[in-house]
Each structure stands twice: as structure tokens, then as C-alpha cells.
Amino acid sequence: MARVPVTFTVNGDEQAEFIAPGALLADVLRDKLGLTATKIGCAQGTCGACTVLVDGELKLSCLIPAERVEGASIETLEGLAKNGAPLHPVQAAFAENFAAQCGFCTSGMILAAKTLLDRNQEPDRAAVVDAISGNICRCTGYEPIIAAILAAAAEMRGRKSA
Amino acid sequence: MSKVRGRGVAAVNYPTGMNLGGDPSQALVHATTTGNFVVSLSSTDLGQGLKTVMAQICAETLGVPVETIIIDTADTDTGPHCMGTFASRGTHRVGNAIIMAATEAKKALMDVAADELEVDADDLETDGKGNIQVKGAPTRSMPVFQAALAAHFKHGKTVSGRGIFLVQRSYPEPETGHMRPATCYAHACTVAEVEVDTETGEVAVLSLKSAYEVGRALNPKMVEQQIVGGAWMGMSHALYETTEPYYPARDHGPVDFNEYLMPGPGDIPEFQAAILERPSEDGPFGAKGVGEMTANSPIPAIANAIFDAVGVRVDSLPITPEKVLRGILEKGIASSEQRK
Amino acid sequence: MEHVKQFFASERPEGLKAVGVSEPRSDIHGHVSGQTRYYADRTFPGMLYLMMVRSPHHHARILSVDTSQAEKVPGVVRILTHKDVPKNVYTILCLIQVEPDDEPCLAADKVRYKGEQVVAVIADSVAAAREAVARVKVAYEELPAVFDVEEALKPGAPLVNEFHGQNWFVYEGHHCRRVRHGDIDKGFAEADFVIEERYQSSPIEHAPVETTGCIVVPEANGRYTCHSNTQALFFTLDNSALILNQPFQKLRLVGGTVGGGFGGKVDVIVEPIAFLAAMLTGRPVKYAFSREEEMQVSSPRAAERIYVKDGVMRNGRIVARQVRLYVDAGAYSRHSPYGTTKAAAHMPGPYTIPNVHVDCHCVYTNRTPSSAMRGFGVTIGDFALEVQMDKLARLVGIDPIEFRIRNAYRDGDMKAHGETTKGAALIETIQAASTLAGWPLSDEARRASSTAGVVR
């Protein structure tokens, strides 16, 4: 089957690949570009593990054919603290608050959290719950994740006013 | 429509390790010439944090900083045999194997240091900060890694140890079932508070308040992770989950997370926990396995709370709104509500 | 989280430095930065994908298998049937001397549950594998199926598994795992009240966010490395070698970082056939469960049906407990013979009861084989026992917490399975929970202790 070219930006870097037609964005990110932070939990669009940002919007990469994002700007977890940069406050808060066990849902969770905090610096618990309701976690029972996100919000507000 | 509250309790224990024993694990510990100690295992971390707790156990036994411990797992070529991570056995079995291996490695290290410092090995201790010092005279000391270097290049001695932990297998007596399932048991007690919507049968879990007896909390925050995660899974098991909603008929089995229901972050109850420790005789620093127990006590506590609220017994899992509502209707509560 | 220090303080040596500390997780940086590597976070040149043709029937004879159309799909490299598997029929607990071998790696003459593996297709892309799976033609003759555990035990029920010859696992000549303690009939005769209740659970899934899977890679030295998310590397290696009839030392399992297990990754299901595929193609092979397979084909927690009959005195002491328990093992043993013994060992719960009679049955039915899950052999038993305790307490008019303390086991008490209780802490745990929940206790209940009092 003839491969098709696709070009897009990932975490600020332009990428160009030849892919099988219909190849999913999640598979292209993981297998072609080696960006394995994005996980595939269901390939049905119901668990959120494959969450990435496409042109600033949260999307499920297991449901998107890569050709559909031709020319778009994609962000994955690897872009948050790129090339050894310090951890983003959300990442640090997850670490400090023991908000991960097996870690498999963590990429999607952090991107959902980061996107919330980019838009809302003072989320209440309900807003946090709403933001992560598309991400399934089987290990933590969610409470430490909610605590981490609220802590990250407070930290980010503190930095802004400092 | 009304929402009625109720409270229920359940108390359980849970055995540590593979039932009836016979499940060994081994560990190897060796000092590098760079100041680290490598623990070689073939054990798996499922997310419960085995890699962290094993490092803590090794550090405690050796008396060195936990940052200097490297856990090398899992590869069947380089890691000695481990039965696996299941049956809440990891901390207990693998932890004990590491204590044995680290004890042997420590003795080798102290023997070399004793030679270097010209004292008896019994007069030496590790300071937990990376040094070996003379008891009562801490200025007479040498860094651990210097002792490891000296062992290798000067003395021609290995600083390493081998460990295994095996609970002898028990065979049940066929007629009476006399057997030894485990050498220690953890305990849990949960008080659940629920609110039942008498119009829909939906049950909201308002709070779960639990006490857990864990032998020894080797890493309290990680014990808390098991407690909170386990409670959530117990609540999910009690009220939401099934692969066969019409069991024993196999119809309408869920195939994705839209159909396989679990509580989301907006459904979780208020949670409070207390930890007790009655060290086990044979656990590493008295620890018992807790990863499985934490999901068990919430389930009947919730069922009992539902009865307390609306007088409906649902003796089958999951306790769906449909089952609760049928019970309520049978009791005539809803119809009397409707008459008002 | 509160630390209740006053209980058992004398039994706890102090002065620990590295344990008892909430050390940050060593893997947390990897998790939050996305650097933690799971088995599938690797690519191998030339990797092939294995997908399964699965039975659409609960119980059927296989009449014929035609792979000719599937072989023609571009990208298909190899198709495997039971004939390719050196030792096709196995049971994972053979390693602890559980018999008989009862499960085919690939179905040969029969399928026994909906979703059972029949034909393995190996292709150079998921799309080609999927296309080829759809083109494999299997002709079945449907057979009557049995789904209910008590129906399965009746004479005349359809026989699920011919390797057993009956629909139950045989425990040293018995049809169930037994525990006998005291005199159950005498206990019931003495009791002021006797009740019998029935409890039922349905199967549930582990549902880890990472599905079961592995990648097998042929190595330059003629050995094979399997990157797997199994919970038990050597258990998987040993069973795979037996199924493949290969020397154990030829195989290597690498793993240790699992995206959630909960007992769902201790069946040796994907590795043996992936090893075989790699051996026969000479290329890396990946076999991973889709979410749909993880949900309906991978083993769930067993459904259990439990009858608990109790004799209780007016003063709240349970004097007799009879448990009849049925584990729905599904079509194959897997870990169920072990789990059923564990269920029997757990009875009658952490309470001292002088007369105990337990029969735990491991029953075969035509459904997805069940296996280990968090709380294996105990979780559903606890549901039944603790709801029963609530019923009993209300029956005799005693507060549910007081009732439990009254019956709780204490150090020195004899257990139903013949062991002496030690390290008991149920009473103190209940006391701590009641304090936390603001549930008032009587003075008698407050004074109770696991370590003092009359041995029973």
C-alpha cells in the first residue's frame, strides 16, 4: 500500500513522515516519532490515556487519523519540560502529591490538568473534577490527582504574584 | 422524591502471600565501586511502588542513604527467581530476601572497613549518611564507597550478598482442611455512609472511614495510595462493575468504558483513614501485605449502609440502582412517597 | 492519614531510619515526564502483529478450519493452528503440581467459551492481521452450554471440559475443598437462632489502563526475549517453555514495569503463542489485547455463589457456621483451583466460631475462564460474611460493631483450619474505625483486646 506524506509540528519541532493511509495519530507519535509518553489504553476513545493537544485543544489521538492533523501544532507530555527543562508545576505537583501509581494514565491526566490551569487560574474542586472526567485512572482513586491539580493551581498563582 | 442516609460497617482480615506458602523470592545485593548498592530482582512493580519500598528496606538494612540504592528489575537473565507480584506477597517475600542479602553484603563491607580502620568489625556502624564510623567515635570514619573500592582493588573481596525467603509450603488435609494458609494477616474495618435516592435507586457514597492494621507502614504515603485506590475500587465493585450484567446469562457484556461503569472523580466519597501497626513476626520490619485488602471492607460496608438507609437487602453484586429500586418498590416506600 | 500509635506500641521497635518514611516514589519522575517505559514503548524493525480468530460460540465442536483466503491477504506472514503448538494442552498451575492439563493454547476439536483462541494470524500490520482474521473460515457445530454453577453440578449437565471429565475440580478425591471443625449439627442444635442466606457476585474485570500484551524478539544468540507486562516473569517463562517444548534456558522474560495488574496479568495467555510466532517467523512479534478483548476475553474475577448458614445465641455468639461456596471457574482451571482453596482457608472470617463446616467448589461453566483478581478467594467471601454479620446483629438486637467485637478472634484462639491465632488485631482495628467514624462503643467493647482474655 502506498504511503502518504504528513507534516505537522510536535512540541515545537516540525516533523514530516510517510505513513500508511489511515494511521492513527497516537501510533505515529509513538512508533514513528518515538514519543511514547502518549499511551494507548483502549483505542476506542473512552479512557483518555492517549490525550494530546491539537492546536491548543485536548483531543484523543487514538481516534484521529494522522492525515487529519496535517499542518497542525501538536503538544504531548514530552513538550512540557522539553530537553531537560524544569518540570512544569503540574508535573511537580503530581510528583509531590503521590498522584501516580502505575503511571499509565498520567500523561493524559497532566495534559488535561495543564489545559485547565492555562484557562482558569483559580479552579474549584468541581472544575478540576470536570477537567479530568475524561481520563480514567484505575489505581489512585482520583483523590491525590485532584489534590495535585489544586496544589499546582495554588503554586502557579503564587509564582504569578511573586 | 427523597434521599435517605444510612451507615454500615464491615471488618475483615487478609492473609499475606501466596496461599499455603511455597512461594520463594530471591534477591542479590552488590556494592559498586561508585558508592551504590545494586539490588538484582526479577520482581514486578505494578504501580504499587515495589521498586521504592525495596530500596528503603535495603537502605535500612545496610544503614546507607536510600538514594544510593539501585533496584535492577526485571530480567530473568540477571534477576534471581521471584514467584511474582500477586497475593500481596511482594513486600513480605522480596523484602525479606533483600534483608538477608543486604545483611551478608553489610558484613563483608564492615569486615573490610574494620581492616582499613584497624578496629573490630563489631565496633563499627553505618551512619545512614554514607559513612562507616567507629561507635562512639564518629570522627574515625570512612565513606562507604571508599570501603567498597578498597574491598575490590586492595583486599580482593566482594561486597555482596544473597538472599532468599521461602515460607514452607503447607498441604491441606483432604478431610478436615487443616492447613497453614499464611504466616500473618492484616486487618481492616470500614464504616460507610451512603445516601439513597428512593426515586431512582441510585446510591451515593458520602464517606468511607476506615482503620487499617498493616504490620508496619514502611512508606506511609504509599500505604495511603493503596488505601485510597483500593477503597475506590471496592466502591466500584460494590455499585458499578460487571462484565456480565445479566449473570449467569452472558448477554450485553460491556466492551468499552462507556459500558463498563466505574465511578469517576466526581463520584468519590469523603475519605478518612487511620493506620495501626502490629508488626508480624516474619515480615520485613514487621510489614504485612496490604495491596488487596484495601478493596474488600468497603464493599459489604456499603451494602450494609444501604440496608440501614432504606431497609433493602441486595445480596448480589453489583448493587445497581435497578436492584435497589426494585427493593424499595417491593417495600412500598416509593409508592407511599408518590401518594403524598 | 492518622497513625494510631497506642495499640501494640510495646511490640514495635523504634529507631528505624529509612523505613517508616514517606520516601518519594523512585518512578514518579519517569511517570510525570513520560519517560517510564512500558513493554510497548519499544519498536523493533520488522515487527509483526498477532491477532486471534476467536470463537463466536459458548460451546461448540470445531468441524473445519479454512485459512486459505486469509493466507492471501497481503502482509500476512504466517497463520498458526493447534497443530503448530508443540504442547498445546496445559494448565498454568502445573508448576505447583495442579492437575490435569486442561486448556488448549489454540482450540483443537472444541471451543468452550465465547472468545476462545482458535487461529493466530501474524501479519506485518494490524490492518492486514485484522483483514486476515475476518477471512479465516471456521465451521462449528454448536453444543448445549451451561452457565449456572449449581446447574453445572447436576447430573446430565453439559460437560464443559473433557480433560476433567466432570464439571468440578477434584480435591484429593473430594468434589470440593473442605474444612471441618467441631460438630456442625450439634452447633445448630444448640443455637437460639439459625439463618441461611444466599449471596451472589458477577464477574468483574481488572480493567488496568494498560492492556495485557507482549513483544517477543529473536536474539542473535538463538534465544528469545519476551518484553511483557506479566506480573510474574518466571511463572510465564516456565509455562511458555513447557508449551513450546523448549529448554527453559532458551527463553528470557524482561519486564517489571506494569501499567496496572490487579491480578489480571498472571495468566500466561499472550506469551506462549507470541514466542511460537517469533520462533516460526524469525521476526519480532507483538500480541496485545485490544480493550474489547481485555474486557470480555481476558479472565475476570470469578463470580461466586455463597450460602452461609449460621447458628447464633441470644447473647450474640455465633456457635455454628456452615458455608457452601461455588467459584465459577469458567471453561478452564487457570488459577481457580488455588483460589477456591484460598476461599476455604479464609472461612469463617476473622471470628472464633467453635463449629465450622465449609465446602468450596471449583465449578466449570461455558464462560470466559476466571482467574486471580485483587482479593482472590477472599473479596466475595468477605462480602457474604460481613453482610451476614450485619443480619445476625440485627436479628439478636446487638449493635453491629459490638457484635463483631464479641465474636472477633483473639491471640490463642483455635482457627477452623487448625492453626492457632496469633498477631490478631481485628478488635483494635474495629475500635480505631469506630473512633474515626464517631460510632459509640460500650465500655465492654472499648476494653476488649486481641491479646488479653480467655482463649477459646
Distance from the Cα of residue A152 to its chain's centroid = 16
SS3 call for A36: coil
Query: Where residue C454 falls among pLDDT bands split at 50, 70, 90?
Result: low
Nearest CB among C32, C209, C291 relative to A94 is that of C32
A24 and A44 both lie in a single domain: yes
A22 and A74 both lie in a single domain: yes
pLDDT tens for residues B8-43? 999 999 999 999 999 999 999 999 988 899 999 999
Query: Where residue B101 falls among pLDDT bands split at 50, 70, 90?
Result: very high
- Delineate the domains of chain B, giving CATH numbers in brackets: 3-16+184-339 (3.30.365.10), 25-165 (3.30.365.10)
Using CA atoms, how far apart are residues A137 and A139, in angstroms rounded to an integer? Answer: 6
Strand pairing class (B160-165; C304-312): unpaired
Q: How far is B340 from chain C (nearest CA, A)?
A: 30
Name which of C329, C389, C383, C397 is nearest C353 in CA terms. Answer: C389
Per the omega criterion (within 30 degrees of 0), is the bond before A123 cis? no
Query: Where residue B332 falls among pLDDT bands split at 50, 70, 90?
Result: confident
Q: C211 contacts in A (CB within 8 Å)?
A: 41
Query: Where residue B340 falls among pLDDT bands split at 50, 70, 90?
Result: very low
Region A37-50 average pLDDT: 98
A9 and A70 both lie in a single domain: yes
C35 vs B: CB within 8 A: no
- Delineate the domains of chain C, giving CATH numbers in brackets: 48-142+211-296 (3.90.1170.50), 177-203+300-447 (3.30.365.10)
pLDDT at C452: 81
Region C203-222 average pLDDT: 98
State the chains in contact with B (3 or more Cβ–Cβ pairs under 8 Å). A, C
pLDDT tens for residues B183-242? 999 999 999 999 999 999 999 999 999 999 999 999 999 999 999 999 999 999 999 999
Query: Where residue A160 falls among pLDDT bands split at 50, 70, 90?
Result: confident
A8 and A36 both lie in a single domain: yes
- Written as nine digits, the cell of B126 is 553505618
Among residues A79, A98, A113, which one ends one of the domains?
A79
Cβ-defined contact of A142 to B225 (cutoff 8 Å): no
A156 and A87 both lie in a single domain: yes
Q: Residue B77 above 60 pLDDT?
A: yes
Is B193 a residue of the active site?
no
A118 and A142 both lie in a single domain: yes
pLDDT at B128: 94
- Residue partners of C292: CB distance under 8 A and separation at least 6: A44, B255, B256
Q: Residue C256 above 80 pLDDT?
A: yes
pLDDT at B338: 59
A127 and A146 both lie in a single domain: yes
Among residues A29, A58, A79, which one ends one of the domains?
A79
Query: Where residue A161 falls among pLDDT bands split at 50, 70, 90?
Result: confident
A67 and A91 both lie in a single domain: no
Q: Residue A139's closest chain B neighbor by CA?
A: B229
A90 and A157 both lie in a single domain: yes
pLDDT at A140: 98
Region B85-107 average pLDDT: 97
pLDDT at C357: 98
Whole-number CA gyration radius for chain C: 26
Region C61-71 average pLDDT: 98
pLDDT tens for residues A95-110? 999 999 999 999 999 9
- The CATH number assigned to the domain holding A88 equals 1.10.150.120
- The CATH number assigned to the domain holding A23 equals 3.10.20.30
Average pLDDT of chain A? Answer: 96
pLDDT at C85: 98
Q: Residue B94 above 90 pLDDT?
A: yes
Q: How far is C211 from chain A (nearest CA, A)?
A: 7
Using CA atoms, how far apart are residues B85 and B94, in angstroms rounded to an integer? Answer: 9
Query: Where residue A20 falls among pLDDT bands split at 50, 70, 90?
Result: very high
A51 and A91 both lie in a single domain: no
Cβ-defined contact of A87 to C30 (cutoff 8 Å): no
Q: Residue C453 above 90 pLDDT?
A: no
pLDDT at B107: 97
Number of separate domains in chain A:
2
Percent of chain C with pLDDT over 70: 99
A87 and A151 both lie in a single domain: yes
A22 and A45 both lie in a single domain: yes
Percent of chain B with pLDDT over 90: 96
Q: Residue B336 above 70 pLDDT?
A: no
pLDDT tens for residues C94-105? 999 999 999 999
Q: C28 contacts in A (CB within 8 Å)?
A: 94-95, 98, 100
Using CA atoms, how far apart are residues C143 and C111, in angstroms rounded to an integer? Answer: 10
Q: Residue A44's closest chain B neighbor by CA?
A: B256
Among residues A50, A79, A108, which one ends one of the domains?
A79
pLDDT tens for residues C296-350? 999 999 999 999 999 999 999 999 999 999 999 999 999 999 999 999 999 999 9
From the candidates B50, B210, B256, B267, which should be mutated to test the interface with A, based on the most A CB atoms within 10 A?
A: B256
Region C401-413 average pLDDT: 98
The structure's pTM equals: 0.97
Q: B264 contacts in A (CB within 8 Å)?
A: 129, 133, 142
Q: Which domain holds residue A109?
A: 82-161
